[in-house]
Amino acid sequence: MYQQVTLEEVTKLMRDEKAQLIEVLSHSEYEREHLPGSINLPLSELNSESVRRLDRERPVIVYCFDYQ
């Protein structure tokens, strides 16, 4: 299940619930610029194996910067 959240909600989730911030940018985009504390899981590599890195007990926030 997904839910769109505001910046304030993201901040609260990360602070209060230790949410995991996942950026689905490519490795090069992530190296160039990423949000502090984020984890890089490129969309092209997102699968059942790669998500095992995540803590299933904590919320997950997925983020991708839109350059448009």
CA 26 – CA 44 distance, rounded (Å): 8
CATH number for position 40? 3.40.250.10
Q: Provide the mean pLDDT of the chain.
A: 90
What was the pLDDT predicted at 3?
85
Residue 33 — φ and ψ, nearest 5°? -165, 125
In DSSP terms, 20 is beta-bridged to: 60
What is the mean predicted confidence (pLDDT) over 27-54?
A: 92
Specify if 23 maps to a domain: yes
Give tens-digit pLDDT for 8-24.
999 999 999 999 999 99
Full residue range of the structural domain in which residue 15 is found: 7-63
Grade residue 39 by pLDDT with cuts at 50, 70 and 90: very high
Instruction: Give the angle subtended at the CA of 48 by the CAs of 50 and 27, to the nearest 5°.
Output: 30
Examine residue 68 and state whether it is found in any structural domain, yes or no.
Answer: no
Q: What are the φ and ψ backbone dihedral angles of 57, each rounded to 5 degrees?
A: -90, -10
Residue with tokens 């890089």: 40
What is the pTM for the complete model shown?
0.79
Residue 49 within a domain:
yes
